[in-house]
Structure 1
Amino acid sequence: MPEKEAQEFLGLANSTLRLMRRERKLLPGEHWIFATGKPNGPVHYDIAAIRKHLVELTIAAAKEEDQRRKQELTTRRNAVETYDAPHLDQLIAEVQS
């Protein structure tokens, strides 16, 4: 699919699509090609391959976010001090002295 149609179909700005290409988030020969085989030629995209790739990236990002949140929750839980009855009595005695 030509670049203009691909950007509309994917709902991405042309600059975003080109940035993804430059940063190799979209791979040459797999997600896009130079239609004439020359670097300054028009670019065509494989929409099905891009969608599949974006699904994989989304799943990986969601898993990373889940792991980050889990670690944050663990850190918060570990930061909370708790006291059982014997330790609470000891704490009260220390505060009162």
Structure 2
Amino acid sequence: MDPAQQWVHEREAAELLALKHGTLRTMRRDRRLLPGDHYIFATGTAGGPVVYNITAIRESMAQRTKDLVTAEAKRRAASKKVKQDSIETFSDAQHVRAGS
């Protein structure tokens, strides 16, 4: 086990990550936290106390944040392009022909 990893009980993990206990449980249930990587059952039995790997969770959250921000930037760029492409413009040649 990597000594840089910090495994702590749920109450302390919630505090260190600035999350509510329920949020950690939801993240586990939704598989945003992976068993063995982000959390383990401290006694090795399902339903036992859970300890969390703070270092791994922070790294995962940092990567997820980068991915979300990148995806949002792409979405905004695509939306901006659609808006710009929908703007009707008239060249001088069209204007002159229309006036003739």
Decide: shared fold, TM above 0.5. yes
- TM-score normalised per structure 1: 0.91
Change (3 A) 1:47 1:88: same
The alpha-carbon deviation at position 8 of structure 1 amounts to 0.6
Structure 1 ranges of 4+ moved more than 2 A: 89-93
Letter in 2 for 1:86: A
Letter in 2 for 1:7: A
The alpha-carbon deviation at position 88 of structure 1 amounts to 1.8
Stretches of structure 1 that go unaligned for 5 or more consecutive residues are none
Choose the corresponding residue for 1:14, options 18, 21, 36: 21
Q: Please report the RMSD computed on the Cα atoms of aligned residues, expressed in angstroms.
A: 1.0
Q: For residues 24-79 of structure 1, give each alpha carbon's deviation from its aligned partner in whole angstroms, at most 9, with x where no partner exists.
A: 10000000000001111000000000000000000000000000000000000000
Q: Does 1:55 align with 2:62?
A: yes
Q: What corresponds to 1:36 in structure 2?
A: 43
Paired residues, what number? 93
Which of structures 1 and 2 has the bigger CA Rg?
Answer: 1
For residues 68 and 61 of structure 1, what CA distance do their matches in structure 2 show? 10
Stretches of structure 2 that go unaligned for 5 or more consecutive residues are 1-7
For residues 74 and 59 of structure 2, what CA distance do their matches in structure 1 show? 23
Query: In percent, how many aligned pairs have the same letter?
Result: 40
Asked which structure has the greater RCO (Cα within 8 Å, sep 6+), the reply is: 2
Q: Does 1:76 align with 2:51?
A: no
Letter in 1 for 2:64: L
- TM-score normalised per structure 2: 0.89
